[in-house]
Structure 1
């Protein structure tokens, strides 16, 4: 099953989840107060108007049926999930990457929903939470980027414990509570949990070597320099551990840079490369990744390259988002078509 088909199947599963929503779910009692990434936030009522900084927050709000509340979006890696294409086309995209503080507040939102704390945090590239507070704008950061994660270390942060999909489900549940959309939140979580269990069951039936190893390559400032690869505790680490795969990168950093010589010495059985529309770096292009792996004198000798064990994965699935579950499916699916001889 290819990448696009995997995504379509996954999304159809989400859509099916709405039909089994529990209409007796609790409703939100306002004022609502939540602890969010080390900060207490309060809502006197459901927010009227939201700007999203991060694709994850955008797609979750769409999936909760709150698309009409999204005033503008920013920070995109891949196309929006197919069921939301028409909706998303009607929502202003104020930036493909980091928006300016002014462009966000000029939309006059009551809530800014954020995927990465480094965009809106103590040293936020867009702004601090205090700056938004001063204007009476609430901020909500997806828990998957701060639970079990220290974002004060610079770069993409350091995991203090392993990522779990529970952190994504927490974000879905809390956004649903903020907007008083609990039935939709419960249905979405149930659908994702089912897909997660099915992917694990699929992988359990595979005859994989006990010592199977892999590396996840997100991108690089250029193809010939040390790549950004997945540490052991982030979303790719969860995928590998869940399917019984050893990550050759042992760092607790979310996306450490590791030189190709070191990766080649580890000689992973599988290389997973990110597929994205973003073009911040030359190596964002999946074709450029493949061309480099097959032509560089160091990388072309790795057994994963020689055996054709290169898997393309939606870049957004490699982040701690609901698409991580789709990435788990992509990985299990791809491994089912590979042969590993020892």
Structure 2
């Protein structure tokens, strides 16, 4: 690690830790416009969404998890031993009864469409009626309308500060502020390292397309729109997103995408199998064999990056995703999937 980056990390850690203090209960947290009160640190939590699960693992709170759900990728290797001890309620959305049955003192949600006004699991009010606090990751509610578009529409660009906010607030709820400060310092250091890798490079004419999945390989793909998490990754690295929609993951026809002819294609790797195109190998086979897509410069020149799906979401994997992308953009070569 370069000396300047190491010094930055050390400075961030000391600065953040200097402000860490014990939580004073009862604690009320304003979460996405709905105050949540905690009389003590939760001893049992259920997570709906991989980003929240791995965030709690990174805070050293694995022993507090009574159940997890909604997984896109296998858990990060460093958390596997801990994750193996935690019941998985569902690969996708769990039932309301399954979550409540774990007697949680906190339920975290990665997406409002899981726990929200039209929640697939339930509404926040339903949990509140049972005395169960809920915590929606701010990244999915701040500057976003989740009632417009399949995955919501961004009214304002995603801000990485919303991830740091999640870390700080959850650390305060669980009374582990020093761990939260340390984790935020590490994440900020990873972000700066990705930026520094591309310092001085001219990427003004470099563009990219994120392909998340497709309901069917013959239909229009789900791609990353403007102002969302994936678009933030490109903006951070100085690369243009060829998709102009403000929906989080709109469907766009391949003819339109081929005409945009992005420099790079970034396809999601998933371990879930909700749609056929969740399998990244099927994405690659399609791109290379379809008479329309195979003519894209990114396909012809092998500029296809395979990236974990959850690295395209607002969680700790985003920073690892930035590392992968910045390395590829800097070298001009896609890593082996």
Residue in 1 that maps onto 2:133:
138
2:164 paired residue among 169, 186, 193 = 169
2:303 maps to 1:309: yes
> 3-state SS of the aligned residue for 1:218?
strand
Determine if contact 1:20/1:187 at 8 Å carries over to the other structure.
no
TM-score, with length taken from structure 1 = 0.91
2:224 maps to 1:253: no
Distance across 2 between alignment mates of 1:202 and 1:309: 19
> 3-state SS of the aligned residue for 2:198?
helix
1:99 paired residue among 87, 94, 103 = 94
Residue in 2 that maps onto 1:118:
113
2:184 maps to 1:189: yes
2:59 paired residue among 53, 57, 64 = 64
Residue in 2 that maps onto 1:55:
50
Alignment gaps of 5+ in structure 1: 1-13
1:89 paired residue among 50, 60, 84 = 84
Distance 1:226 1:130, change over 3 A: same
2:311 maps to 1:335: no
Alignment gaps of 5+ in structure 2: 1-8
Residue in 2 that maps onto 1:227:
221
2:26 paired residue among 25, 31, 46 = 31
Distance across 2 between alignment mates of 1:19 and 1:334: 32
> 3-state SS of the aligned residue for 1:214?
strand
Distance across 2 between alignment mates of 1:174 and 1:27: 13
State the shift of 1:24 in Å. Answer: 6.9
Distance across 2 between alignment mates of 1:267 and 1:243: 19
Counterparts in 2 of 1:279-294, with a 5 A limit?
A: 279-294=273-288
2:258 maps to 1:264: yes
Distance across 1 between alignment mates of 2:298 and 2:249: 21
2:153 maps to 1:158: yes
State the shift of 1:208 in Å. Answer: 4.1
Determine if contact 1:18/1:184 at 8 Å carries over to the other structure.
no
**Aligned positions, number:** 323
Distance 1:334 1:67, change over 3 A: same
State the shift of 1:148 in Å. Answer: 1.4
Distance across 1 between alignment mates of 2:196 and 2:169: 29
1:40 paired residue among 27, 35, 56 = 35
Determine if contact 2:13/2:185 at 8 Å carries over to the other structure.
no
Distance across 2 between alignment mates of 1:43 and 1:208: 49
> 3-state SS of the aligned residue for 1:33?
strand
Determine if contact 1:163/1:320 at 8 Å carries over to the other structure.
no
State the shift of 1:223 in Å. Answer: 1.4
Residue in 1 that maps onto 2:317:
323
Determine if contact 1:204/1:243 at 8 Å carries over to the other structure.
no
Distance across 1 between alignment mates of 2:174 and 2:308: 29
State the shift of 1:76 in Å. Answer: 0.4
> 3-state SS of the aligned residue for 2:17?
coil
Runs of 4+ in 1 over 6 A off after TM superposition: 17-21
Distance 1:103 1:19, change over 3 A: farther
TM-score, with length taken from structure 2 = 0.92
Distance across 2 between alignment mates of 1:24 and 1:321: 23
